């Protein structure tokens, strides 16, 4: 008699396993993130900071390498207006997305290429690294809440200080 309830339970689990994931699922998040990331290179290369800012929540935070965090959609728009003024080439590659409910985390790789002589002061002509973004689903739209990226390129080494001059020893002769 125990076999029948076990078979019924297994059948119910098999049916549930075939049900497509609900809206707001990891698959939904991955599709939305991939769609947003597909737009970044074009928007960056054409200087569309306003469109890039629309990927972020109102109180989002970006944390670029070697800079203070930038908070809020308007400040993020201004940040990308400066970066995109020289129209760099950007490549993004999502390595993984973890999602549950209305929250997702994306981890990936990025690469900037600046036109000859167009890199911002102190920036290398080619830079690459890794990133992590926390996405939130606000009213059915996936938006970035926190965005941090780090460079794999080492910071330039400061020039070594000039060697100290040896102390000059003065001697005077007494007569």
pLDDT digits (tens, 9 = 90+) for 36-59: 999 999 998 888 999 999 999 999
Query: pTM (2 decimals)?
Result: 0.73
> Which tokens go with 175?
């007569």
- Chain length of the chain: 175
Q: What are the tens digits of pLDDT across the range 118-141?
A: 777 777 888 999 999 999 999 999
pLDDT at 150 over 50: yes
From residue 69, alpha-carbon distances to 21, 52, 64, 87, 95 in Å are 36, 17, 7, 22, 24
Q: Cβ(58)–Cβ(46) under 8 Å?
A: no
pLDDT bucket at 173, cuts 50 / 70 / 90: low
Beta bridge partners of 91: 111
Q: What are the tens digits of pLDDT across the range 75-103?
A: 999 999 988 777 888 999 999 999 999 99
Q: Cβ(152)–Cβ(128) under 8 Å?
A: yes
């Amino acid at each position: 008699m125990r076999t029948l309830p076990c078979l019924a339970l297994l059948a119910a689990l098999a049916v549930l396993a075939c049900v497509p994931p609900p809206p707001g699922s990891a698959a939904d998040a991955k599709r939305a993130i991939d769609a947003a990331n597909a737009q970044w290179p074009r928007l960056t290369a054409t200087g569309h900071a306003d469109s890039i800012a629309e990927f972020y929540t109102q109180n989002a935070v970006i944390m670029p390498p070697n800079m203070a965090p930038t908070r809020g959609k308007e400040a993020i728009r201004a940040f990308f207006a400066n970066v995109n003024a020289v129209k760099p080439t950007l490549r993004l590659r999502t390595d993984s997305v973890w999602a549950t409910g209305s929250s997702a985390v994306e981890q990936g790789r990025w690469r900037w290429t600046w036109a000859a002589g167009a890199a911002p002061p102190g920036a290398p002509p080619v830079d690459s690294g890794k990133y992590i973004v926390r996405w939130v689903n606000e009213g059915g739209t996936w938006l970035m809440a926190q965005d941090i990226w780090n460079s794999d390129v080492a910071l330039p080494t400061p020039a070594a200080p000039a060697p100290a001059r040896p102390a000059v020893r003065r001697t005077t002769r007494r007569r």
